[in-house]
């Protein structure tokens, strides 16, 4: 799948967001991802929403109040080109 929108690519350039996305290679809740990264869960909630809104994370299951998310793709590449002016 080739994504041409700049929004997801811009998010992937943020080291913290890219690291968080990597924590969702397997289905996890946001709290589980926070623990895996050694960060407080309340610190990553906003970041998870950004990734989800950009279509980089998808919901894969619900168990009670827990929402399990997973990265849409197993790997991402951002191609940066310089446009001549």
List the chain pLDDT tens, one digit each, 85 residues.
444 555 666 776 778 888 899 999 999 999 999 999 999 988 898 899 999 988 889 999 999 999 999 998 765 665 666 766 6
The conformation of residue 85, written as its DSSP 8-state character, comes to: -
In this predicted structure, what is the pLDDT of residue 35?
Answer: 94
User: How many whole angstroms separate alpha carbon 67 and alpha carbon 85?
Assistant: 46
Domain 6-71 has CATH 3.40.50.10490: no
Domain ranges of the chain: 6-71
| SS3 letters across 63-84 | ECCEEEEEECCCCCCCCCCCCC
d(CA 32, CA 52): 16
Structure tokens at 77: 């590449």
Q: What residues are paired with 63 via a beta bridge?
A: 66
């Amino acid at each position: 799948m080739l994504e041409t929108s700049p929004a997801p690519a811009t998010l992937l350039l943020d080291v913290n967001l890219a690291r968080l996305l990597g924590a969702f290679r397997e289905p996890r809740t946001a709290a589980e991802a926070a623990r895996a990264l050694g960060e407080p869960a309340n610190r990553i909630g906003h970041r998870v929403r950004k990734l989800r809104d950009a279509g980089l994370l998808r919901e894969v299951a619900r168990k009670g109040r827990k929402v399990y998310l997973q990265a849409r793709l197993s790997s991402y590449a951002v191609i940066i080109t310089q446009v001549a002016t």
